[in-house]
Amino acid sequence: MMSFRKGMTQAPALFLLAACLFIPSLTIAQEKADAQKVYADVAGTYEFSYEGQVLVVTFFAREGRLYATEGSSGEEVEVKPLDLEKLTFEATVQNTGQYYEIGFTRDEAGKINKCQLSSSGIVIDGTRLK
């Protein structure tokens, strides 16, 4: 009779252990899937105007990560999420060390149509070209 009770108390403990081991991997998989959807929504070309100059930045996803490239430089910069729900990201340009905070905005239909770059106190608004 003692071994039956011992087995009964171990079963819930084993179940909890198994749940702790497998549920986080499901959560991580879901987070990756959510990130991929956001990256696909963000991907596109945006035009920014500042003091008479035009900057064109293309965002794209590759191998599960988001990248940006500026038209003339061709340098690919990894764009890392700060808050996927708020559509905020960060990036540091390797050549210059310039740090950017990047935010995207959805329109009434739910499509991302605007982007905002912020760096060293300067904020530049951009619109999606394609």
Q: Tell me the per-residue pLDDT of 71-95, one tens digit each, with 9 for 90 and over.
A: 777 789 999 999 999 999 999 998 8
Count of structural domains, the chain: 1
Is 26 part of any domain? no
Segment 108-113 mean pLDDT: 94
CA angle 82, 86, 92 (to 5 degrees): 30
Segment 40-51 mean pLDDT: 94
Is 2 part of any domain? no
Range of the domain at 90: 35-128
Judge if pTM exceeds 0.85.
no
Distances (CA, A) of 119 to 45, 80, 115: 19, 15, 13
Please tell me the number of Cα atoms within 13 Å of 16 on its side-chain side: 5
Is 21 part of any domain? no
Instruction: For residue 125, give every residue at least 6 positions away whose Cβ sits within 8 Å of its Cβ, in sequence order, or none.
Output: 48, 114, 115, 116
Is 10 part of any domain? no
Is 4 part of any domain? no
CATH number, domain of 47, equals: 2.40.128.50
Backbone angles phi, psi at 68, to 5 degrees: -135, 150
The yes-or-no verdict on residue 3 having pLDDT over 70 is no
